[in-house]
Amino acid sequence: MLYFNMPANLPPEYYSAEINFKKATTFQEKIAALEFLISTIPKHKGTDKLRAELRRKLSRLRDDSAKKKKSGRGDLYTVEKQGAAQVALVGCANSGKSSLLASITNAHPVIADFPMSTVMPRSGMMQFEDIQFQLIDLPPIGNDSTDGWVSGILRTANMLILVIDVSDAPDVQIELLLDQLNNWKIPFAEKEKSENTDSPFSPKSLILVVNKEDISGSAEALNDIKHKYQAEYPVIGFSSMRQTGIDKLKRAVFEQSGIIRVYSKEPGKLPDRDAPFAVHAGSSVMDLAQIIHKDFVINLKYACIWGAGKFDGQRVQKDYVLQDKDIVEYHIK
């Protein structure tokens, strides 16, 4: 516990929020967690002292954070990219982002029925066949204390998944989220115009996940959303409770990522299928050579390809455009 002689009638949300506060490490995490912690405390005479002490602590944290930023040592929030691409989960409070993350990755986020159970980024790795994608769970959109750094993470992510609670005016949620992304000037691409690069200013692929499809009446709502939005974005029905939609979502992430898998092999040896190279669609033999080793670029004579629509070991030019699951054999001078 944070304090002695605490009121005995605190709600369960307080103790979950207290755990999040203890886990916080940066100023942004601590401030966001403490703001939510305070919001869970009921207002009556028995909690006056606790609320006052927590407010004083919050004030000190804000002062310390401001001093650190003024000194030029601010800790702006970033999440180091891992895997083939970084995918950020975007949603309103209680949309089920944390449950989705737990269902399809190796992460173990805090899952609760109350708003703002996520106060800091939580990432996990999603396996799709032989490659992995990094998914990041973020606080819900619309919270002043976290929107600043949340928008920063969204700008640098490669792809966005909008998680929609089908039980709570899903059309309104979608429009609010899309409007907020536009207000933050975060570009997202229609699926037939999708482009994916590492530039934070490039249009990002976007997937709509209609969550909680296990509830009554969800099928009709899901069909309405597909009718309205599926021409622009993939729409996936999902249920963490029933564990449905997982395979469809994983495939949609792969297909929308603009990533292909390419395997390398040495002459006379079998290809290494355990560790494919994840490269952007449209990459050439020479692009992959630059990733493998700079000497390949300088000393490359030619390359041979194994893959769909080609005979085994077909010799190709250096500008040959690679396809998903191609095997490349480089011949060096």
b/e per residue 133-156 (b: at least 16 CB within 10 A): bbbbbbbbbebebbbebbbbbbbe
Low-confidence ranges of the chain (pLDDT < 50): 1-5, 72-76, 114, 192-201
pLDDT of residue 197: 44
| Contact indicator for 84, 132 with CB cutoff of 8 Å | yes
pTM metric for this prediction? 0.71
Q: How far apart (Å, rounded) are the C-alpha atoms in residues 20 and 37?
A: 9
Backbone region of residue 32 per phi and psi (left: phi > 0; alpha: psi in -120 to 50; beta: other values): alpha
Task: Note the pLDDT of residue 255.
Answer: 95
Question: Model confidence over 139-184: pLDDT tens digits?
Answer: 888 877 777 888 888 988 999 999 999 998 999 999 999 999 998 8
- The pLDDT score that the predictor gives to residue 311 is 82
pLDDT at 18: 80
Structural domains of the chain sorted by starting position, each given as residue range(s) with its CATH number in brackets? 12-70 (no CATH), 86-257 (3.40.50.300), 259-332 (3.10.20.30)
pLDDT of residue 160: 97
Q: What is the pLDDT of residue 51?
A: 83
Specify the pLDDT at position 282. Answer: 93
**Confidence at residue 152, expressed as pLDDT on a 0 to 100 scale:** 85
Two tokens, residue 297: 């670029």
